């Protein structure tokens, strides 16, 4: 086995270092050929390098084009912009892919297998906002500008459609609000239908739904969906909803894919309420690591990892507190490594 895929490793803040250490130990047990380049960002970046996104960290990702990242806190005060948004912009990470697959069976929603693909750089999320003062009230009027481009919509939709074909998805649903935001989300809908007709027709079924109806349908009958593709803000909201269908944020991984790099992470944040207590569930970032293995074409290892996570939870019944168990992060990690080793024999 070559040990030759360089990856930038950012432990991050709060529970980040605990779950990232667990992930590195599990990937070592799998024999994954990653050469880690440890870097800092977020609050840790400010404390140790005076910047939430130090140049050295950016240089490392520029070199490796691949990163596994713990959650980052944006320091309040000091006028810092979110490190996550800056990373997306810096490396043009235009696609955010969030798969949701049931691991813990017997819950309110069983056998969920859904992917949300979210545009990651445009829309109302770009943060072009301002206030208009009136009569001494500096915040009398608040305004925000959303920007969606044909080119930005096209590259995201093509990424999603190619992914649907490559992973055998049967149906792709474009989520929009073109009945009201006719220009802003209409351009995304129009581009999606156009590309489908010209390049993807017959490869999968296409469907469209308005975002509010989509939220209701996801709660009533999520099995009617296979892949959802949508603009930035709608994707942000719906992917958390979808994470809720499979047991919450502790189970939800995400990949940020772009022209210049790919960054893998858990969807959840730094969970300051449980940080340092050894209680964090590492499954979300472990599943993100499985996505990174797939990205590196190490599909067998990705499958071994997903199977072992499944078996540790369902057969060995080892679960952290957020899933109703009493295992610590270390207990879960050790059980998972035992499973990986046992499955190899
Ligand atoms: P959060 O996701 O950190 O926590 C929400 C709740 O879920 C908390 O009760 C937490 O204990 C629990 N939780 C989250 N992950 C868990 C895990 N792996 N195991 C067990 N329980 C878990 O959301 P928040 O409290 O709103 O945000 C905290 C900080 O994280 C903020 O500074 C926010 O900006 C940052 N954040 C970062 C990212 C990222 O880097 N991708 C994403 C979201 C939030």
pLDDT digits (tens, 9 = 90+) for 17-42: 999 999 999 999 999 999 999 999 99
CA–centroid distance, 307 to ligand 1, in Å, is 26
In whole angstroms, give the CA distance from residue 254 to residue 156.
15
Q: How confident is the model over 158-178, as pLDDT tens digits? A: 999 999 999 999 999 999 999
CA–centroid distance, 151 to ligand 1, in Å, is 33
CA–centroid distance, 275 to ligand 1, in Å, is 10
pLDDT, position 259 = 83
CA–centroid distance, 16 to ligand 1, in Å, is 10
**249 in contact with ligand 1, CB cutoff 6 A:** yes
pTM higher than 0.85: yes
Residue from 12, 19, 71, 326 to probe ligand 1 pocket by mutation (most atoms less than 8 Å from CB): 71
CA–centroid distance, 25 to ligand 1, in Å, is 22
Treating both helix axes as pointing N-terminal to C-terminal, what angle do 299-314 and 283-295 enclose, rounded to 10 degrees?
A: 160
Three-class secondary structure of residue 122 per DSSP: coil
CA–centroid distance, 81 to ligand 1, in Å, is 18
What is the dihedral angle through the alpha carbons of 268, 271, 276, 281, rounded to the nearest 10 degrees?
-40
- Give the model's confidence band at 3: pLDDT under 50 very low, under 70 low, under 90 confident, else very high: low
Q: Say whether pLDDT at 1 is over 70.
A: no
pLDDT, position 80 = 82
Please state the rounded mean pLDDT for residues 95-102: 95
Q: How confident is the model over 216-233, as pLDDT tens digits? A: 999 999 999 999 999 999
With CA atoms as reference, report the closest residue to 178 among 154, 147, 145, 211.
211
Q: How confident is the model over 105-159, as pLDDT tens digits? A: 888 899 999 999 999 999 998 889 999 999 999 999 999 999 999 999 999 999 9
Give the lowest-confidence range in 69-73, 247-251, 306-310: 247-251
CA–centroid distance, 272 to ligand 1, in Å, is 7
Treating both helix axes as pointing N-terminal to C-terminal, what angle do 299-314 and 16-30 enclose, rounded to 10 degrees?
A: 120
For atom 9 of ligand 1, which residue has the closest CA?
271
Mean pLDDT, the chain, as a whole number? 95
Residue from 103, 263, 268, 273 to probe ligand 1 pocket by mutation (most atoms less than 8 Å from CB): 268
Own/partner pairs for 209-214, CB < 8 Å, 24+ apart?
A: 209/173, 209/174, 209/175, 209/176, 210/175, 210/176, 210/177, 210/178, 210/179, 211/175, 211/176, 211/177, 211/238, 212/177, 214/173, 214/175, 214/238
Q: Say whether pLDDT at 2 is over 80.
A: no
For atom 13 of ligand 1, which residue has the closest CA?
271
pLDDT, position 106 = 84
For atom 34 of ligand 1, which residue has the closest CA?
73
**271 in contact with ligand 1, CB cutoff 6 A:** yes
């Amino acid at each position: 086995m070559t040990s030759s895929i360089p990856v930038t490793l950012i432990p991050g803040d709060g529970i980040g270092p605990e779950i990232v250490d667990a992930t590195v130990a599990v990937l070592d047990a799998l024999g994954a050929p990653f050469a880690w380049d440890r870097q800092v960002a977020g609050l840790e970046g400010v404390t140790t390098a005076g910047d939430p996104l130090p140049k050295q960290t950016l240089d490392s990702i520029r070199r490796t084009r691949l990163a596994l990242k713990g959650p980052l806190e944006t320091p309040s005060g000091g006028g810092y912009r979110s490190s996550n948004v800056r990373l997306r912009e810096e490396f043009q990470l235009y696609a955010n892919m969030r798969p949701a697959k049931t691991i813990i069976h017997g819950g309110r929603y069983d056998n969920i297998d859904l992917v949300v693909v979210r545009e990651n750089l445009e829309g109302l999320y770009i943060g072009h906002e301002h206030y208009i003062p009136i009569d001494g009230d500096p915040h009398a009027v608040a305004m925000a500008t959303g920007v969606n481009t044909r080119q930005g919509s096209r590259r995201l939709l093509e990424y999603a459609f190619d992914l649907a074909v490559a992973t055998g998805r049967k149906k792709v649903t474009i989520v929009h609000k073109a009945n009201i935001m006719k220009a802003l989300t209409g351009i995304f809908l129009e581009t999606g239908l156009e590309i489908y007709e010209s390049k993807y027709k017959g490869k999968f079924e296409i469907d469209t739904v308005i975002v509010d109806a989509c939220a209701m349908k996801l709660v009533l009958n999520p099995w009617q969906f296979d892949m959802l593709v949508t603009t930035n803000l709608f994707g942000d909201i719906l992917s958390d909803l979808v994470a809720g269908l499979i047991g919450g944020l502790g189970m939800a991984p995400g990949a940020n894919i772009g022209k210049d790099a790919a960054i893998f992470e858990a969807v959840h944040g730094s969970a300051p309420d449980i940080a340092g207590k050894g209680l964090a569930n590492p499954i979300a970032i472990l599943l993100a690591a499985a996505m990174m293995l797939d990205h590196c074409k190490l599909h067998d290892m990705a499958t071994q990892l997903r199977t072992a996570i499944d078996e540790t939870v369902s057969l060995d019944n080892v679960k952290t507190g957020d899933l109703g168990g009493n295992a610590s992060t270390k207990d879960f990690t050790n059980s998972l490594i035992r499973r990986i080793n046992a499955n190899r024999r």
